[in-house]
Amino acid sequence: MRRVALIVLDCVRKDYFDENATQIKKMADLDVDECYAASSWSVPSHSSLFTGTLPHEHQVHSYNTDYSILKTFFEEVESEGISANGAVSDAFNADKLFNEFVAFSGKQEITPDAVTFKDVVEYEAGLQRIVEYLRQAIDDGKLKHSLINGIGIKANHFIKRLPIYPFGDHGASQVTKRLSDSDADFVFCNYIDAHAPMQNHRYIESNFPKGWHSNQISIEDIRDSELEASQRDLNKYHNLYSKTIQYLDSKIATFAEEMPDDMTLIITADHGEEMLMDGESDLGHTGFSQSLLHVPFVIIGSDAKYDGGTVSHLDVPAMVEQLWESRELTVPTREFVLSERPGMMFYDGDNPWWNRAIRAVTVNGIRWQWDDLGNSHKVELTKSKEEKKVEAKIPAEYKDMFDGTVDELGDDSQNIEVSNQVETRLKELGYKI
């Protein structure tokens, strides 16, 4: 049996990947131009990757974030999950899917080999929380790494506005180390580095101030302003996003050069990112657009047969199952690619447009999309951009490709109460709660 690693580069959109992941692209045995995610943010998109089904089918999304209900394609093999993303963590029961699992907040924590502060968030901030943190670290035999973690987090918080690089990167080194040490038949890795907020650090080649951090800027001001200062901040954000992808490219390419012959890498993204470029409504992933749905898809370590068609994340399980048996792979392609989002767990503002349920069918360079607010559009696509968007009646056969209606998709009656632990994880990633 061959081994397969599914590498998910969180928030990495296709056009920026093509420009900046040059080493991975040179090593690729397969590099797909047209691959689409099943959803536009982490929880439903990862769940679709793990099951090969749409959010309304697997039922893990904004209104139910419990991964443990999923029936995954890898449940019968030895599996390991390595995640630097709080939205794919034990806080959401993602650990229940794998034989071995480790999750940490790559944007804050230095190492996963420590007690995390999310484990003690129910204790009052200050001395009580610190004492409980140290007690758990001693009980778990993790005192050394927990001290490194705790000191590193506090130091990075203190120096955030100083012209000093923070300690560590944003999780890539630790995720890659765990990947190198794994001998599981299936390994899932989430790299959070390209997720907001953007921060300069010593491992990327940037000319910006050492202490620059995107939390210093207001997303609301940048959305609404045409001021030169706001554009400069946006350019810094774009530049650090590019540099971060280059750093991820280097880490993963180095691993791929040394990986065992019996291993195959599938490299993709759970979704892309809007960068407030032409035709984009936001800086982040609260929308539903080509820059969010169009994702990279690269395979290293396979003799792949590919007809040049469109690939869907829904076919990743079938591809992994082929690769367990052989280097040879016949890549499934689709004429019609389906995506949907049953609302947004946390969104910025009170406008229901950000939280709308939405569905889409992509076919022949056109995305037909409709939502539960009554909007319906035909969108002409090029790479990660939308060239032309017009109101249009959605063909009935496209709606019939999904079960139920978009109004039923957006029913939030299942909405769960969010714990302090989950709130802490998601606030670290910039979600408005």
Which whole number is the average pLDDT over 81-95?
Answer: 94
In this predicted model, what pLDDT tens digit does every residue of 6-37 receive, in sequence order? 999 999 999 999 999 999 999 999 999 999 99
pLDDT digits (tens, 9 = 90+) for 171-216: 999 999 999 999 999 999 999 999 988 888 888 877 777 767 787 7
Q: Which of 382, 323, 324, 364 minimizes the C-alpha distance to 29? A: 323
pLDDT at 39 over 60: yes
Mutual orientation of helices 42-51 and 316-325 as an angle, nearest 10°? 40
Q: Is the N-terminal amide bond of 209 cis, ω within 30° of 0?
A: no
Residue % of the chain over a pLDDT of 90: 61
Q: Per-residue b/e over 144-164, b at no fewer than 16 CB within 10 Å?
A: ebbebbbebbeebeeeeeeee
- At residue 147, the pLDDT reads 80
pLDDT band at 231; cut points 50, 70, 90: confident
Residue 343 falls inside a structural domain = no
Residue 141 lies in a domain: no
User: Does residue 428 have a pLDDT over 60?
Assistant: no
Residue 424 lies in a domain: yes
Model confidence at 375, pLDDT cuts 50, 70, 90, reads very high
| pLDDT recorded at residue 112 | 78
pLDDT of residue 124: 72
- The model's confidence at residue 433, banded by pLDDT at 50, 70 and 90, is very low
Domain that holds residue 285: 3-110+168-335+413-428
Across the chain, what does the average pLDDT equal? 88
Whether 252 is covered by a domain: the verdict is yes
Q: What is the CATH number of the domain that holds 259?
A: 3.40.720.10
Number of H helices, E strands in the chain: 14, 18
The number of folded domains in the chain is 1
Residue 161 has pLDDT above 50, yes or no: yes
Residue 310 placed within a domain:
yes
| Of the listed ranges 183-197, 227-241, 289-303, 322-336, the one predicted with least confidence | 227-241
- Detail the DSSP E strand segments found in 159-287: 186-191, 263-268, 274-275, 283-284
Reported pTM: 0.91
